[in-house]
Amino acid sequence: MQKPTFTDRLRLATHVTATALLTATFAFIVSTAIAMAASEDAASPDTDEADEQSFVTRPEAYEQIVKAQDYIKKQQYEKATKVLEKMQRRLRLNNHEKSLVQQTFGFLYASQEKFPKAIEALNRCLELRALPKPTLLNIEYNLGQIYFATKKFKQAADTLEEWLKKSKNPAPSAIFTAAAANYQAHRYDRAAKYAQDAISRDKSKPDGWLQLLLASQMELKRFREASATLQTIVSRHPSRKTYWIQLASVYAQMNDDARALAVYELAYQKGVLNESSEIINLTQRMIQQGVPQKGAPILEGAIASGLVKPTQDNLTLLATAWQHARERDRAMEPLARAAQAAKDGSLFVRLAQIQLEKEDWTAAARSIERALKKGGLRHPGQAYLTLGIARFNAQKKKQAQQAFRQALADEDSKNAASGWLAFIEGASR
């Protein structure tokens, strides 16, 4: 089964949160709105007459709203629906009472996860503007959550942003909900803004919030900001390989290869890099960054422990690391093993070059002979030329001349071979 992505986890978490929170919150909002309206002091002193009238709930309407709410709590949804529909038919409702009915319909539909109908009811409730402002704000926030739960991310983001403008001191979690909605709506700039705001207001800085901020920064290619976010995440979870690799990748995107390598090296030291491909990648990076003397022992140890298989490519890489580290003696053994496993003789030619540098003429000649026997060389004339040089220095002049004559067949080695033959013939006179 494929592992869920960050986006999948975000959607699931928000859907579960929205469903659970909405059913609990609506009950509170409805009862609070009724209580405020029923009290004599529901309207503030500076509220105009029209607003005061709109906040009046008559006893018969109040009784039916409470009755419908009780049915909803008992999950008797059909009975609740009939009560509310009967109110709309038989009672001449004022705007405040209409708002309470639509609000209760919203609660009813949300309780059944009939979110599209809940959205319609709550929007009608908000359009009437006949509830206390705190209640309207709560409804607006919950409407944003329902939009999110139904994957209407643009509407969710717009609704939640509008709600934030009206809220004096919104909770960090509410601000993060706006960030999540904007992220799902592909508004990464706004998502990063709200995620950063939410994180700055919450001392605990939840991991999910940091991850959304990081995801937004990566989408925006703000790699410097992303590196700072990742440093925070890595410091919290030093054993999580994914974050180390992400941090190194971000530095690579910034063309800061030195820091990328430093991150990989530190991850290795902490035991986080424990896969063959990761050790190979680390060794390659160390060669590229001019520190092969660090990479070679790491790869050698991994091969010895069995973590990295001694394949031709891996042994060749180890030999390359030792060569770059100017450790020719240590390069020869893995290179010889790689040459034996190779399909052509090119690695034996490379081994012979090291042996020539060490002036081990006999070994060099033997390696070239094995290279030619395997075949598949791109420049066989050069191999014969090298063989002639090795044999000449090994005091095997006749065999050297034989090799040089074979080198004459290749245009790349023809002139050098002719020179060597002339030199040998002249020295023999």
In angstroms, the CA 9 to CA 11 distance is 6
Other CB atoms within 10 Å distance of the CB of residue 225:
18
The number of C-alpha atoms within 13 Å of 92 and in the hemisphere containing its C-beta is 0
Residue type, 187: R
User: Token pair for residue 226?
Assistant: 């992303």
Domain ranges of the chain: 8-150, 275-341, 359-429
In angstroms, the CA 234 to CA 237 distance is 5
- Residue 325 in 3-state DSSP? coil
Cβ-contact 139, 122 below 8 angstroms: yes
Residues 6+ away with beta carbon under 8 Å from 134:
none
Phi and psi angles of residue 308, each rounded to the nearest 5 degrees, phi first: -110, 130
H helices, E strands: number in the chain: 23, 0
Which class does domain 359-429 fall in? mainly alpha
Question: Matching CATH topology for 275-341 and 359-429?
Answer: yes
In angstroms, the CA 216 to CA 234 distance is 18
Cβ-contact 336, 318 below 8 angstroms: no
Q: How does the average pLDDT of the chain come out, rounded?
A: 89
Cβ-contact 368, 386 below 8 angstroms: yes
Cβ-contact 65, 104 below 8 angstroms: yes
Res 5: pLDDT:
53
Q: C-alpha angle 155/157/159, rounded to 5°? A: 65
Encode pLDDT of 398-429 as tens digits.
999 999 999 999 998 999 999 999 999 887 66
User: Token pair for residue 261?
Assistant: 């390598």
- Residue 394 in 3-state DSSP? coil
CATH fold for the domain made of 275-341: 1.25.40
Phi and psi angles of residue 237, each rounded to the nearest 5 degrees, phi first: -130, 65
Encode pLDDT of 257-303 as tens digits.
999 999 999 999 999 999 999 999 999 999 999 999 999 999 999 99
Q: Range with the lowest mean pLDDT among 2-16, 55-69, 207-221?
A: 2-16
Residue 84 pLDDT greater than 50, yes or no: yes
Encode pLDDT of 90-119 as tens digits.
889 999 999 999 999 999 999 999 999 999
User: Which residue shows structure tokens 């090795």?
Assistant: 390
Residues 6+ away with beta carbon under 8 Å from 207:
233, 236, 237
R_g of the chain, CA atoms, integer Å: 38
Per-residue pLDDT, averaged over 148-155, amounts to: 94
